Amino acid sequence: MASINQVKIFAGTSSEYLAKEIAQYFGKELGSTTIQRFSDGEISPSFDESIRGCDVFLIQSTFPPADNLLELLLMIDAARRASAHYVTVVIPYFGYSRQDRKDKPRVGIGAKLIANLLTAAGADRLMTVDLHAGQIQGFFDFPVDHLEGTAIFVPYLKSLGLDNILFASPDVGGVVRTRNIAKFFNAEMVICDKHRKRANEVASMQLIGDVTGADVVLVDDLIDTGGTMCKAAQLIMDKGAKSVRAIVTHAVLSGNAYENISNSVLTELVVTNTIPSKQECDKIKVLSVAQLFAKAIGRIRDHESISSLFIKQ
């Protein structure tokens, strides 16, 4: 049997709240670090305990500001220079994942750039959940453990006991994601076909499919301003649905998002805690990904299959 090195879990500043919960489920104390900041804002992280020969897990989502990403890169570099045996970056929300291809001339591919930076810093493995596009895994030349939010959302939806559940994709690009979760309920799906003039602004939207009398669940990987989601929800209710709610893994929620959601026809917006909540909202329910990540870390430690964490139909 392969030898098992000591596991140590550390948190970046932006994800300490989640890392503490993950460490608790895993059964270990969160490792101690010091994040020093010079007067000009320059970051200098250090580990306050030996990590020589250890399997190190660094937990940090890379949502803005860019300091979150830079802090993670510096922590990876510090771990390598402190002779860690293996460095796994746990990025619950993988920032810049929306920039995964050249969709118009003269633009960068941000997701690939972030992959290159993580590789250059010395990461050995990536663990994340619900990437914006699954093919981003191919940007890395080391293993990627791509966990699925279905493990959290499916049990919650089943607990609601909805009579006539039907799933909806807020755009054509989310059809595969929506179909994958609909199969656990043997349910049908519909599509909201949208047209954008510019980012974060929907020009028009139409519904493909029948939602009459259905309890509709919108499915997406992230919600930013909430404009698309709220417009899709209104369209679905206008077409005769009984109720509409949304399940979204990453609650970016920028701009007027909280106001948009509060004023929408959504019964509830169910999200995870990959990104910390900015404010309270009666319509938003937060589910934790901590136990899912803790189980995945345990399976990596024991050299076991990660796929056992995926819900089987």
HEC-encoded secondary structure of 97-109: CCCCCCCCCCCCC
* pLDDT tens, residue by residue, 198-216: 665 555 789 999 999 999 9
Residue 309 confidence (pLDDT) = 85
Predicted pLDDT of residue 82: 98
Judge whether 111 and 139 are in contact, CB under 8 Å. yes
Bridge partners (DSSP) listed for residue 166: 216
Q: Which residue has the higher pLDDT, 4 or 87?
A: 87
**Is 194 designated active site?**
yes
209 vs 4, which has greater pLDDT?
A: 209
Could you say which of 194, 231, 278, 283 is catalytic?
A: 194
Contacts of 17 (CB under 8 A, 6+ apart): 273, 276
Whole-number Å distance between alpha carbons of 269 and 54: 40
Give pLDDT, residue 103.
85
d(CA 110, CA 116): 10
Q: Can you give the pLDDT at residue 200?
A: 53
Q: What is the mean pLDDT of the chain?
A: 94
The structural domains of the chain, with segments of one domain joined by +, span: 7-147+290-309, 150-287
3-state secondary structure of 112: helix
- Unique residue bearing structure tokens 């669940």: 217
Whether residue 229 has pLDDT greater than 80: yes
Rounded to a whole number, what is the largest CA-CA distance in the chain? 61
Q: Which CATH number applies to 150-287: 3.40.640.10, 3.40.50.300, 3.40.50.2020, 2.60.40.1180?
A: 3.40.50.2020
**224 among the known binding-site residues?**
yes
pLDDT tens column, 131-168: 999 899 999 999 999 999 999 999 999 999 998 999 99
Tell whether residue 302 is among the known ligand binding residues.
no
225 marked among binding-site residues? yes
Query: 44 in the Ramachandran plot: left (φ > 0), alpha (ψ -120 to 50) or beta?
Result: beta
Percent of the chain with pLDDT over 90: 88
pLDDT digits (tens, 9 = 90+) for 86-102: 999 999 999 999 999 99
Query: What topology does CATH give the domain 7-147+290-309?
Result: Rossmann fold (3.40.50)
Q: What pLDDT digit, counting tens, does each position of 266-291 carry?
A: 999 999 999 999 999 999 999 999 99
Shared fold status for 7-147+290-309 and 150-287:
yes
